[in-house]
Amino acid sequence: MQILSFLGFTILVAVISYLKTRKTDETSSDGYFLGGRSLTGVVIAGSLLLTNLSTEQIVGLNGSAFKEGILVMAWETLAAIAMVVTAVFLLPRYLKGGITTVPQFLEKRYDKMTKTITSALFLSGYVIVLLPIVLYSGALAINSMFNVPELLGVSKTAALWITVWGIGIIGSIYAIFGGLKAVAVSDTINAIGLLIGGLMIPVFGLLLVGDGSIFHGVSTLIESNPDKFKALGGSQSSIPFGTIFTGMMLVQLFYWGTNQAIIQRALGAKDLKEGQKGLLLASFIKILGPLIVVLPGIIAFHLFGNTLDNPDEAYPMLVTKVLPATLVGFFAAVLFGAILSSFNSALNSSVTLFGIDIYKSHFKKEATEQETVKAGKIFGTFLAILSMCIAPLIANAPDGLFGYLQEVNGCYSIPILTIIVVGYLTKYVPAIAAKIAIISGVVLYSISQFILKPFVVGSDNYPHFLHVMAILFVLNILIMLLIGKFKPRKDAFELEYTNQVNITPWKHLNAVGIGICVTVIAIYIYFA
């Protein structure tokens, strides 16, 4: 029954997507981007949240909550503050300059090589972090829900490799050979299913814990596991309290303010008012995110205790425990769609970044659109294979899925955030400063986390990676400002107003933004 409902929903999504998009032309590079500055606040908010909600977050963050409790909600609730900062500071500048991509601003502010280096950094992040994480979290969920090791008569490790490569090959065929034309439609269907399914898990879980009563389930959960409901982490936790004020906010600001896949939704706003409304609405809803990505992990701990070897298995185990068999198949199909969607989108972005920003800019400037797309697809194939090789190895990460994701992200997130912030706040810092900051940021962080921490100092006595991010952020800003002082650019950079959209801010921006920040602080005070 599980497999039948899984196949039924998966095939239904595929058929609807094909029928709705079979006339789409994807032979040109334009086929990879769907623009149009016409999005309203509600659409922007929905798109931001649904793009963010994916298997690596649902599986990974619930795994962290299983291990450490509610303190990992910082990844969700503090995102609300970062979105307020983006709405107030970054979005007005983005829309004033009329940009459609973040690298486009970097080319205007610095030069083409800075844009290329940044694109290359994004690509390395996709192959080392994002694509493998999507494959690993998806394979883990599918393996647990359908008990693939027992079904195939193989070990957990072998089953993980088989499922990763199965998902990867299917996703690659979609993304590389043109199947991505159906992503927009399939995303919509799967996103609705993912939200419904995501909320079903804690509801069914609390009903089980509370013997049919959700309220009794909540009180039982809190009384039985008081340590899991402490929001402030100690020095040995994955999120020590001090990191909330250092690297945590920088990571959030990078993700919600400069990550192309996310911020592109706000860049498509019909005007600044709608863009700011969308970000603030999404930030308010984001405060409720722990219901889907944290609470189930604590419920899983209550039900399974310390019987699981891998905390990342907690969420899939909970799904099979609390959902009826028919709904397990449906939810697995929704998750499978989300896995494919995330994998396809990241792979397609990689193909586009390489084809346009690297191949056409540096290898063959006169390349036709067909040649550019072809080069991108060849690169995409290589990227997909590499990601499928890396994905199963994430099971060995000591801090679990989400810990690995955030630590490795620092290699490229902080250097990119640094040059964007300095680019907007200064007028005379030259392009060479941006290049040096990117290189020093990547090299110093890599030495710190992957040489000094494990082999020289030792993990127990080393500063938390979020503190390291903050230190390097400040250091790289100082480097850029010093270069700007002694070797400034000849002409001051002026952000030209392109008049593409109205940039009058929303009149309730400050009041609503302050209200959201106060709400987040109040939540922390309550759970402290």
Which H or E run contains 175? Answer: helix 156-176
Residue by residue, DSSP assigns 417-433 as: HHHHHHHHH-SS--HHH
Rounded Cα gap, residues 255 and 245, in angstroms: 16
Q: 380 or 438, which is more confident?
A: 438
Q: 401 or 162, which is more confident?
A: 162
State which of 114-128, 328-342, 356-370 shows the largest mean pLDDT. Answer: 114-128
Average pLDDT value for residue range 29-44: 58
- DSSP code, position 273: H
pLDDT beyond 90 at 421: yes
Among 302-311, 363-372, 424-433, 434-443, the range scoring the smallest mean pLDDT is 363-372
pLDDT beyond 50 at 218: yes
Q: Which residues contact 518 (CB under 8 A, 6 or more apart)?
A: none
Q: How confident is the model at residue 35 (pLDDT cuts 50, 70, 90)?
A: very low
Indicate the residue type of 8: G
Among 102-106, 158-162, 315-319, 479-483, the range scoring the smallest mean pLDDT is 102-106
pLDDT beyond 90 at 20: no
Residue 188 pLDDT: 59
Among 263-272, 382-391, 507-516, the range scoring the smallest mean pLDDT is 263-272
Residue 289 pLDDT: 86
State which of 349-353, 365-369, 477-481 shows the largest mean pLDDT. Answer: 477-481
Q: What is the pLDDT of residues 247-272, one digit of tens each?
A: 999 999 999 998 876 787 788 788 89
Q: How many CB atoms lie within 10 A of CB 304?
A: 15
Indicate the residue type of 399: D
Distances (CA, A) of 392 to 124, 134, 215, 524: 18, 11, 39, 36
Q: How many CB atoms lie within 10 A of CB 16?
A: 15
Note the pTM of the prediction, 2 decimals.
Answer: 0.82
Residue by residue, DSSP assigns 218-260 as: HHHHHHH-GGGG--SB-TTSSSBGGGGGTHHHHHHHHHHHT-H
Residue 365 pLDDT: 77
Question: Which residues is 233 bridged to in the sheet?
Answer: 240
Residue 375 pLDDT: 82
Q: How far apart are the first and last CA of the chain?
A: 45
Q: Which residues contact 437 (CB under 8 A, 6 or more apart)?
A: 415, 418, 419, 422, 476, 477, 479, 480
Q: What is the pLDDT of residues 127-182, one digit of tens each?
A: 878 888 888 888 888 888 788 888 888 998 899 999 999 888 877 776 565 444 44
pLDDT beyond 90 at 273: yes
Q: 202 or 397, which is more confident?
A: 202
pLDDT beyond 60 at 509: yes
Domains and CATH numbers, the chain: 2-13+39-493+507-527 (1.20.1730.10)
Q: How confident is the model at residue 324 (pLDDT cuts 50, 70, 90)?
A: confident
Average pLDDT value for residue range 499-513: 92
Rounded Cα gap, residues 179 and 177, in angstroms: 6
Residue 32 pLDDT: 39
Question: Which residues is 39 bridged to in the sheet?
Answer: 269
Residue 185 pLDDT: 54
Among 286-295, 356-365, 499-508, the range scoring the smallest mean pLDDT is 356-365
Tell me which residue has tokens 């990571």.
Answer: 251
CB 58 within 8 A of CB 315: yes
Residue 141 pLDDT: 82
State which of 11-15, 16-20, 230-234 shows the largest mean pLDDT. Answer: 230-234
Q: How confident is the model at residue 472 (pLDDT cuts 50, 70, 90)?
A: very high
Q: What is the pLDDT of residues 455-464, one digit of tens each?
A: 888 877 889 8
